[in-house]
Homo-oligomer: A and B are copies of this chain.
Amino acid sequence: LRRGATSRLRKIVNKTHGADLSILFRSLPLPDQRLLFDMIDDVEQKGILFSELDEDLFIELIDGMDPDAVVGILEAMPNDDVADLLNQLPEETASSLLERMKKEGSDEVEDLMRFDKDTAGGIMNTDFIALNQEITAKEAIEQIQKEFADVEMPFYLYAVDEYGNLVGVCSLRQLVVVKPYTPLKAFMTTEVLSVQTHMDQEEVAKLVARYDILAVPVVDDSNRLVGIVTVDDVIDIFREEATEDILKMAGVGEEFVETKSIFKSTRIRLPWLFASCLGGIFAFYVIGHFEDSLSRITYLAAFIPVIMGMGGNIGTQSSTIVVRGLATGRLHIRDIWSVVGKELAIGFILGMVYGLLIGSVAQLQYSTLMLALAVCLAVVCSMSVAALVGSCVPMLLARLNIDPAVATGPFVTTSIDIISVYFYFSIATGFLGI
């Protein structure tokens, strides 16, 4: 990219899809990004690139660009993407860009920016086709060719009444198949699934996925059609939500790989680890409580890691199964007893298996039957309790309307650690009479 060969490069760039260019972009320094960006001829490709770039990159890139050029690109983009981009910018920059945009477009964008970005209103697109239910199929086709030529993907044609209220839906294909003078309302489907502007984006995504539809219309409080959420946005929502859940489970809340600053990452992780630290200090006092036993039989300490590890791992397994089940809708809160019962049974069986195994190792090493029995029993208890806690906690959180993904994080692991250690020392002290 350094010098020369620009005309050949320009050709290649213009044959490449914006989505692919964005990947290349990330690995280039800023001056090269600018050069490359200027080489793109198609304003729509520039728009796709804008949408694909990460927040930081986008802000750097447009900083110093001619505002009119930026506006030109924004106007070629879908309104919902423009609203998302502008929301990332400092307020001043955003409003100065909005002022330069054509009236009609900027009004729509401003409307979109008012919605919370995680709701149907925040993700909807305002480029949709709404036709009056009274017009005929022929008129509809003419109108689509004239007025709606710029609609990105004409998934469905929505029929509205005189007040703009959603009353029906039909497909482009139906228009072509029926007799030209049939009015829309004669053949449209009147049972239309729609969502309200304030519905959570995850709910919207689940609806679209459940009914295998390409788009869902969004209506305001008075049933007026205001936008559509399309299937390509739904895909993004699912990927985003899955990532969020996974990161939450590991206790890295809102950190992403892209989070470049070490300081920011550290700050995000700090409170999560604090829970684990408090738990650890608690476990330390629990063990301190049994110091007498320990001083008599020091090798009791050697079994701490294995007992804590086994409990922690099965607890994570149980809670992951439950959290994911709740997230995908395969599991309902009302199934709580059957799920918890099942997990408890699995925890007990696996506890017996590994309890016997680890107990045998203890027996081999120290030839003290009571110690071996105590270790065995401690493993059984620790694993059963861990499975119980790991499955109960996310269920209870879900019932309290708290996101259960949080539960698999340090909280569950830490409480299991403390319980395991306590059981172990209590049992050992009892069995060995110390």
Q: Chain A residues in contact with chain B, CB under 8 A?
A: 17, 19-20, 23, 141, 144-145, 149, 153-154, 172-173, 176-177, 208-212, 214, 231-232, 234-236, 238-239, 242-243, 245-247, 249-252, 255-258, 262, 265-266, 269-270, 272-273, 276-277, 279-281, 283-285, 287-288, 291, 294-295, 298-310, 312-314, 316-317, 319-322, 324-325, 328-331, 339, 342, 345-346, 349-350, 353-354, 357-358, 361, 365, 408, 410, 413-414, 417-418, 421
Contacts and interface: CB of A to CB of B under 8 A. Distances in A.
Contacts of A276: 309-310, 313
A306 B281 contact: yes
A280 B295 contact: no
A310 B312 CA distance: 13
A17 B262 contact: no
Nearest to A262: B345
Nearest to A177: B145
B154 A325 contact: no
Nearest to A148: B173
Top 5 A-B pairs, shortest CB-CB distance: A280-B306, A257-B325, A242-B242, A301-B301, A250-B320
A307 B308 CA distance: 12
B301 A251 contact: no
A247 B299 CA distance: 35
Contact of A232 (B23, B212, B281): B212
Nearest to A334: B27
A377 to B, nearest CB: 16
Nearest to A330: B257
Contacts of A317: 250-252, 269, 272
A80 B353 CA distance: 43
Given A283-B306, A305-B418, 13 more contacts: A19-B211, A208-B235, A235-B235, A235-B238, A243-B324, A247-B324, A256-B321, A257-B321, A266-B346, A277-B357, A284-B361, A288-B302, A308-B309
Contacts of A141: 176
Indicate how many identical chains form the complex.
2
A265 B324 contact: no
Nearest to A20: B210
Given A309-B276, A358-B277, A321 B235 contact: no
Contacts of A305: 280, 283-284, 287, 304, 308, 417-418, 421
Nearest to A152: B212
A266 B308 contact: no
Nearest to A255: B321
B421 A342 contact: no
A312 B177 CA distance: 63
Contacts of A301: 287, 294, 298, 300-301, 304
Nearest to A292: B298
7 contacts: A256-B321, A266-B346, A269-B350, A280-B358, A283-B302, A287-B304, A305-B308
Nearest to A244: B324
B417 A309 contact: yes
Nearest to A252: B317
Contact of A252 (B234, B321, B361): B321
